[in-house]
Amino acid sequence: MPKLSKEFIRLYHSNSGKLEKQERTKKYDFIRHIDKKYKNDKSRTLLDTACGYDGIDDMLKRKYKVTAIDSDKKSIKTAKKRVAGISFIVANMQKFNHTGKFDIIICIHGIDHGNELRHTLKRTLKHLNTQLNNGGILIFDLNFLKELWAQKITTTNIIQSGREKYVQVYHQEVEDNDGLSYYVTIRLKRNKLYTETSTVRRSLHLLNLKKVKRMVIESGFDAFLYDGWNPNILKKVGKNAPVFVCVKRK
């Protein structure tokens, strides 16, 4: 990774604690809303798949008995140090089997990452279905979505560090059936500009919303689409990554 990009990421993480807390709270509130709406607030156990090391597990344990899995050993090791009272396990969501089933399974920013998931998504959905109690809920968001990227989204983040100012501009769009993304990082220091441009990344695993919904239904779920991590039912794909709420059919 280019030097300026590393500096930007370091500063972003050191300055984004408040913002990240707001995002975690929003997702926690959404999960609680879904639990009340579809299970009458009777859920007790929750599985966090592809949990990473900085998820919302510390909030979830207020209400649920949480098990968290990730295939990356370092992420699990770091997560164990950060959050107590949760069972962290190194495991793959496509193969993980637990002695007991769960009322809720969540996958935040994880189910559509990796080219292999484009070919195995249905198998993954069917497997996660087997890990749920009857009437259980699977919640996941879709970031690598063709309809979302087709809008040619450009985002800008600005960070001030002393007398230095960092600006990073990220852009994503669709070319044919592939997703293209790149970013430009700028540093302003003593009235001088320093810039770096990333190489263009081609994502071959953009998903189609209708096809994913069909796979969800074929995997034994009733499917409900939401406009991001808020309680609004999705009417049209906007700037938010769609969130699937999948209720296991009894």
Q: Which domains does the chain have, with CATH numbers?
A: 3-143+207-248 (3.40.50.150), 147-203 (2.20.25)
pLDDT at residue number 58: 82
pLDDT at residue number 149: 93
Written as six digits, the tokens of 117 are 């998931």
Residue segments in the chain with a per-residue pLDDT below the cut of 70: 1, 14-19, 54, 114-116
φ and ψ at 195, to 5 degrees?
A: -130, 150
pLDDT at residue number 12: 75
Using a 10 angstrom Cβ sphere, with 0-12 exposed, 13-18 middle and 19 or more buried, the burial of residue 246 is buried
pTM score above 0.85:
yes
Nearest to 108 by CA among 211, 23, 223, 208: 23
Q: What is the DSSP letter of 75?
A: H
Handedness of CA 99, 139, 156, 1 (dihedral sign): positive
Kindly give the residue spans of alpha helices, DSSP state H, lying in 16-72: 17-39, 57-60
pLDDT at residue number 203: 85
pLDDT at residue number 28: 94
pLDDT at residue number 213: 96
